[in-house]
Every structure is written in C-alpha cells, then in structure tokens.
C-alpha cells in the first residue's frame, strides 16, 4: 500500500484528492492541514473510522512537526495542496500568502529533502514530491493569445499568483540543485463538490437559492478555463504515478468561459431544477459591481503535454460537471450550513459591502 503525505487535504481540491486516494486508489494517507476557514472536516467525515487515514492538525511552516511526520509515517510521496488561494484575500492580506505559500513550501521541501536523503536506494528512486499550483503564475492573456503552456514565462499579477510562482520556482530549484524527485502541476479554475463559497460557482448557487444579489465583477467579460475537481484529482494521481521527474504538467478543461456566461448558465440550471422558485428567473438577481484591482482578463490552459504523454482527458463536460456540482450543493445542506460562519460573512461584508457577493 502506497503511503502519501497530503498537505492541505481538508480543503476543496485536497479533500477530493484524499477521498479518491482512499476509495479508488487504495493508498494510505496522512493529511496535514491547519484547518483554516477554507478547511472543513465534514469533507472527510466518511473516513472517520478508516484505519488507513489519519488527520494531523498543523502547518507546513512547522518544521518540527513536518520532521516528526516524515519519521513516523514514512511516506513514499508528498502531494502539496497546502496554500492560501483566494486572490481577493491576497490583496487584503498578502503577508499570510507569503508565509504559507513561499515559506511553508520551503520548509516542506527542506524536510522532504532531508528525509529523502536518508532513504534506501529503492525508496529514494520511487519517492515523489508533487507540488500543486495554478495557471495564475503565467499572468493574463489577450483575446487572441495562445493558451498557457508549460514553457510560458511567469508573469504573476496578484500577491497570490506571485506567491505561487515563487513556490513553483523553489520546487524546480530543489530538483535541479539537490536531485529531489519533484513534479509540478498547474491547473485552471476548479469547480465541484466541497468548494468554499468565496469562489464564483458555489457562491452563485447559494446566493441564488436564497434570492440574494448575484454580483459580478466589472462587466463579467473576464474569461477562465474551467475544470471539474475530480478530473483534476485524476490528473494529479496520474502525474504522481507516471509523470517524468522534474517536469511540469498543465491541467485544464479546454473550457474557456466568461464569468457572466457561467453565472447565466447556473441561473438557467437552477430555473430548470426549481421551476416554481419565487426567484425565477434567477438571472434577474445578477448585479454588476466594481472590478477587482488588477483583475486578470483571461486564462487558458494548453494541456497537450499531459494528454499526449500520460493519456489524460477530462471525464466531465462543463455541462455535466456543473449539474453534478449544483446537485451536490442541493443534497448537502448540512455541509453548506457548517461553512456559514461569522468569519465568512464578515469577510464578504468587508470586501463587497454586502453578503454574500460573487467572485
């Protein structure tokens, strides 16, 4: 049984990855998570009695804790999801992003390097350190620019993107300088079950259900490439298993959509599911708000490398993935209620002057 140390495994993407590893891949998992606002233990409650899963509460900035985990758990791989991820929060509090995403990744790399150096020859050969990153490190695209490839120069435009670009560079350096067997993945916008509702799709779903305004930045023309979270987790698993050491793999859905089109599609989906809703048509709730500072206009991922080298393809279309997402939120009201904390609403009100607002 492969042993994987997952960091940030109680968050959105991390929890979906942990569930996949335990239920579908048969790996033993240790999950290190500092349980911030974006983490939710309900994400992993189905593993509460699983003897091959353990939760460790703590931060990747804690070197002593990291060392004890490596010594006691003896992982064959590390998958690093631990990160501060929300652009608006990085504009408001950039220091937190530097500490977690840059300093934390450095500490994790250092402890992984020391641990890896003490392994036997076979274990050293098989060990992997996989760092999960974002397409935002590449900056922004114009309307006719080709999508980002793995060789696109970094040009981050927010403190969040800059912190992730810094961590990507560290991972590359540890492979080149020390020989640590690293892999990096850069993904496009994820959506799906268990996403904290500061992000566009879950926030629109929850606002619409409550008949609240659906604020959209600027004129809603900003474009993102959308990827269903379980497809992303399958890709990460495949890179971990078959990826070439030292390489980067872009993971995207080949699904470019303007934000306003995402919101309108969600409204149409909710109109179909709730034909008697007093808020129908839900598109009548759309409200345009002042744009985010330095808002990148377009992201697009060229995922030819992972498709051609590893044979990965997204399993969900945008339409099928979106409907699965809406249905999950509708069927999991307990989860939704658990994340509606006072801290969350205070953040929304501070950022947008109302509660809640769409990203």
pLDDT band of residue 88 (cuts 50, 70, 90) is confident
Q: What is the pLDDT of residue 191?
A: 97
Q: Among 88, 345, 328, which residue's Cα sits nearest to residue 195?
A: 328
| 353 lies in some domain | no
pLDDT band of residue 85 (cuts 50, 70, 90) is confident
| 187 lies in some domain | yes
| 93 lies in some domain | yes
Distance CA 267, CA 252 (A): 24
* Number of domains the chain is built from: 1
Q: Is the pLDDT of residue 351 over 80?
A: no
Q: What is the pLDDT of residue 343?
A: 57
Q: What is the pLDDT of residue 197?
A: 84
Contact 253, 318 (CB under 8 A): yes
| 145 lies in some domain | yes
- Report the 10 Å Cβ neighbour count for 88: 19
| 356 lies in some domain | no
| 204 lies in some domain | no
| 98 lies in some domain | yes
Q: Which CATH number characterizes residue 311's domain? A: 3.40.50.720
Contact 227, 251 (CB under 8 A): yes
Beta bridge pairs of residue 78: 5, 129
Model confidence pLDDT, tens digit, residues 38-67: 888 889 999 999 999 999 999 999 999 999
Catalytic residue numbers? Answer: 135-136, 160
- Report the 10 Å Cβ neighbour count for 311: 9
Domain that holds residue 94: 3-196+225-258+299-318
Contact 315, 230 (CB under 8 A): yes
Query: Which tokens go with 139?
Result: 């900056």
| 338 lies in some domain | no
Model confidence pLDDT, tens digit, residues 154-192: 999 999 999 999 999 999 999 999 999 999 999 999 999
């Amino acid at each position: 049984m492969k042993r994987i140390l997952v960091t940030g495994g109680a968050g959105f993407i991390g929890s979906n990855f942990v569930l996949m590893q335990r239920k579908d891949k048969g790996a033993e998992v240790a999950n290190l998570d500092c349980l911030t606002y974006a983490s939710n233990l309900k994400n992993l409650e189905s593993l509460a009695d699983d003897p091959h899963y353990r939760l460790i509460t703590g931060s990747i900035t804690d070197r002593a804790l990291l060392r004890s985990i490596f010594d006691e758990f003896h992982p064959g791989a590390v998958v690093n999801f631990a990160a501060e991820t929300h652009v608006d929060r990085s504009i408001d509090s950039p220091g937190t992003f530097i500490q977690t995403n840059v300093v934390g990744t450095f500490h994790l790399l250092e402890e992984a390097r020391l641990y890896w150096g003490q392994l036997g020859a076979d274990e050293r050969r098989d060990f992997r350190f996989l760092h999960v990153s974002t397409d935002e490190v590449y900056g922004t695209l114009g309307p006719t620019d080709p999508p980002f490839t793995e060789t696109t120069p970094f040009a981050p435009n927010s403190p969040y993107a800059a912190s992730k670009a810094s961590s990507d560079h560290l991972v590359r350096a540890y492979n080149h300088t020390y020989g640590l067997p690293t892999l990096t993945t850069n993904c496009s916008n994820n959506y799906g079950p268990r996403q904290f509702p500061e992000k566009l799709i879950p926030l629109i779903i929850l606002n619409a259900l409550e008949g609240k305004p659906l604020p959209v930045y600027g004129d809603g023309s900003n474009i993102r490439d959308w990827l269903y979270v379980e497809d992303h987790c399958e890709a990460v698993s495949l890179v971990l298993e078959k990826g070439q050491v030292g390489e980067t793999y872009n993971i995207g859905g080949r699904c470019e959509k303007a934000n306003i089109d995402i919101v309108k599609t969600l409204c149409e989906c909710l109109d179909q599911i709730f034909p008697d809703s007093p808020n129908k048509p839900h598109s009548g709730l759309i409200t345009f708000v002042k744009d985010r500072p330095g808002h990148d206009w377009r992201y697009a991922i060229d995922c030819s490398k992972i498709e051609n080298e590893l044979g990965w393809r997204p399993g969900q279309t945008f339409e099928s993935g979106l409907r699965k997402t809406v249905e999950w939120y509708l069927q999991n009201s307990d989860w939704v209620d658990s994340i509606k904390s006072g801290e969350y609403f205070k953040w929304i009100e501070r950022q947008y002057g109302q509660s809640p607002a769409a990203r």
